[in-house]
């Protein structure tokens, strides 16, 4: 960067993405190229507190990131159901918001453009803008964490659905009268293909007396059996861990085949903590996808790709959402704003 470019960048207002999850609030300054430049974290105050307390935690994290510079806009990724208008968090399992007009409250606090969407949609925006879904008109983006988050990109835009609830792939039933799910249903896909399913599979094998790298790692860990430990053990070829990924991957492929039959996307992107295992997860998933997909020899089977972004997908996508909106501001307004003395 030349000195002139550096000076221009310093004057440019800061665009921030905020990801509000069940345990933490992550705020980040994100560059126009999707790079995370600076981050701040706060603990999420819990779900049995006053609704505004979450916004106070967000406020603190954003202020720390902005550090006295000019704020241009904030995109918010929320772990919950956001309505079709992007105004309210209808409900969120781990947050106190119940139908709260989160977007308006935050825009009033910060006095800049604020946009709100759910975390899975924001992760999809990150992949579509800078990651594995760049250039794909139609893409499905799955986030395998505790459960399955999902987002639908059609003609390059997010399909949010008439309630803003499109992409709830994790609660499609794949087993009649199957495993009970937190949603109240049974046999939901995320009961068979998710971080929870991975740990459950490995835990059952260990309870049956399996030994090896995973058993050793668990014995040495303060936190007991976790998803990252299963990934670590699978990378060391531990048979229990590899079998857990094979099962979760096989179910991933079966469910993706169902989605491909319905949407016929050009690409399917898999992110979230479980996807950090890469081909340990995706190789068995690709086999199951080819096997389960209708007319797989008569079509181009979409590639099943690992997401580019990890835990920062939410903030990157949230920032991209608001940056896109700022870019759509009519030219005259942008010009007059530039002319304003600063």
Q: How far is the CB of 247 from a second copy (least distance, A)?
A: 12
Q: How far is the CB of 175 from a second copy (least distance, A)?
A: 6
Of 167 and 273, nearer to a second copy (C-beta) is 167
Q: How far is the CB of 171 from a second copy (least distance, A)?
A: 4
Q: How far is the CB of 81 from a second copy (least distance, A)?
A: 6
CA–CA distances in Å: residue 181 to residues 148, 192, 305: 12, 10, 27
Of 188 and 233, nearer to a second copy (C-beta) is 188
Q: How far is the CB of 31 from a second copy (least distance, A)?
A: 31
Of 216 and 264, nearer to a second copy (C-beta) is 264
Q: How far is the CB of 70 from a second copy (least distance, A)?
A: 36
The edge-to-edge listing of strands for the beta sheet with 148-154 is 157-158, 148-154, 139-144, 267-271, 304-306
CB 309 within 8 A of CB 2: no
Of 29 and 83, nearer to a second copy (C-beta) is 83
Q: Cα(299)–Cα(295) distance, rounded to whole angstroms?
A: 7
Of 172 and 205, nearer to a second copy (C-beta) is 172
Of 24 and 101, nearer to a second copy (C-beta) is 101
CB 46 within 8 A of CB 96: yes
**SS3 assignment, position 269:** strand
CB 146 within 8 A of CB 166: no
Using the structure block, give the residue that is written with the tokens 């307004």: 333
Q: How far is the CB of 195 from a second copy (least distance, A)?
A: 19
Of 39 and 172, nearer to a second copy (C-beta) is 172
Of 161 and 310, nearer to a second copy (C-beta) is 161
Q: How would you label 46-56 residue by residue, b for 16+ Cβ within 10 Å and e otherwise?
A: eeeeeeeebbe
**Torsion-angle region of 184 (φ positive above 0: left; ψ -120 to 50: alpha; else: beta):** left
User: What single-letter DSSP state applies at residue 171?
Assistant: G
Q: Cα(122)–Cα(128) distance, rounded to whole angstroms?
A: 10
Q: Cα(118)–Cα(46) distance, rounded to whole angstroms?
A: 18
Which spans of this chain sit near a second copy (rule: CB under 8 A)? Answer: 81, 90-91, 137-138, 150, 152, 154, 159-169, 171-176, 183, 185, 188, 254, 257-259, 261-266, 292, 294-295, 298-300, 302
Q: How far is the CB of 57 from a second copy (least distance, A)?
A: 24
Q: Cα(56)–Cα(46) distance, rounded to whole angstroms?
A: 13
**SS3 assignment, position 5:** helix
User: What single-letter DSSP state applies at residue 266?
Assistant: S
């Amino acid at each position: 960067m030349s000195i002139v470019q550096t000076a221009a960048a310093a004057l440019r207002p800061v665009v921030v993405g905020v990801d509000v999850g069940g345990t933490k609030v992550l705020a980040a300054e994100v560059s126009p190229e999707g790079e995370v430049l600076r981050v701040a974290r706060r603990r999420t105050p819990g779900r049995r507190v006053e609704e505004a307390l979450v916004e106070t935690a967000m406020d603190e994290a954003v202020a720390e990131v902005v550090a006295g510079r000019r704020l241009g806009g904030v995109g918010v990724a929320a772990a919950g159901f956001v309505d079709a208008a992007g105004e309210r968090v209808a409900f969120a399992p781990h947050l106190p918001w119940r139908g709260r007009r989160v977007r308006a409250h935050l825009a009033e606090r910060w006095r800049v453009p604020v946009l709100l969407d759910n975390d899975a949609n924001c992760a999809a925006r990150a992949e579509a803008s800078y990651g594995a879904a760049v250039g794909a008109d139609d893409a499905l983006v799955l986030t395998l964490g505790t459960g399955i988050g999902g987002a639908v990109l059609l003609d390059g835009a997010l399909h949010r659905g008439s309630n803003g609830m499109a992409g709830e792939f994790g609660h499609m039933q794949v087993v009649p009268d199957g495993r009970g799910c937190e949603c109240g249903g049974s046999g939901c896909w995320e009961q068979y293909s998710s971080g929870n399913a991975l740990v459950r599979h490995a835990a059952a094998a260990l309870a049956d007396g399996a030994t090896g790298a995973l058993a050793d790692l668990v014995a040495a860990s303060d936190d007991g059996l976790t998803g990252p430990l299963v990934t670590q053990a699978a990378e060391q070829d531990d048979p229990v861990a590899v079998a857990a990924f094979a099962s979760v991957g096989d179910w991933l492929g079966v469910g993706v085949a169902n989605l491909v039959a319905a949407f016929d996307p050009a690409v399917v992107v898999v992110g979230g903590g479980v996807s950090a295992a890469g081909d340990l997860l995706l190789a068995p998933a690709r086999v199951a996808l080819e096997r389960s997909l209708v007319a797989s020899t008569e079509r181009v089977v979409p590639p099943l790709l690992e997401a580019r972004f990890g835990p920062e997908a939410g903030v990157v996508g949230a920032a991209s959402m608001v940056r896109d909106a700022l870019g759509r501001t009519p030219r005259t307004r942008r010009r007059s704003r530039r002319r304003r003395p600063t």
